[in-house]
Amino acid sequence: MPTPLEDLNAKLFREQLHSQFKVHQDNTAPVMLELADVIETNQSPKMELFSLSFRGPFRPRLDQRTHRMEHEKLGEIEIFLTPISADQQDGTMYEAVFHRFRKP
């Protein structure tokens, strides 16, 4: 059972910078992504806003959708990923954006 996203925050992801996330795909081999950056914007005491950047291979490229990922410390999570750039030398960059109410 996936780890609930409400249990994860920017601090927990920042502790995993440069670690590997295994992305499972239907009928193909998993794709490995590296957590490249965590950007947190604290503009509101009521809202939590942060984004994650992942670097993956140039091919295969993941579609924009919710993906099931595995991480050795965070467990299994489901995150909506959007490809934001790609080139053959640096691979493909993906972004996940979290914008939600803070827990009381």
The Cα–Cα gap between 6 and 16 comes to 17
| pLDDT given at position 64 | 97
- The answer as to CATH 2.70.98 being correct for domain 5-101 is no
pLDDT tens-digit series, residues 31-61: 999 999 999 987 788 888 999 999 999 999 9
Residue-range domain boundaries for the chain: 5-101
The Cα–Cα gap between 55 and 81 comes to 11
pLDDT tens-digit series, residues 15-25: 999 999 999 98
DSSP 4: P
Considering the chain, what percentage of its residues have pLDDT values greater than 90?
A: 73
pTM of the complete model: 0.92
Residue 3 binned pLDDT confidence (cut-offs 50, 70, 90): confident
Residue 14 binned pLDDT confidence (cut-offs 50, 70, 90): very high
pLDDT tens-digit series, residues 82-103: 999 999 999 999 999 999 888 7
The Cα–Cα gap between 57 and 41 comes to 28
**Helix H segments across 2-67?**
10-14
| Count of CB atoms situated within 10 Å of the CB of 42 | 11
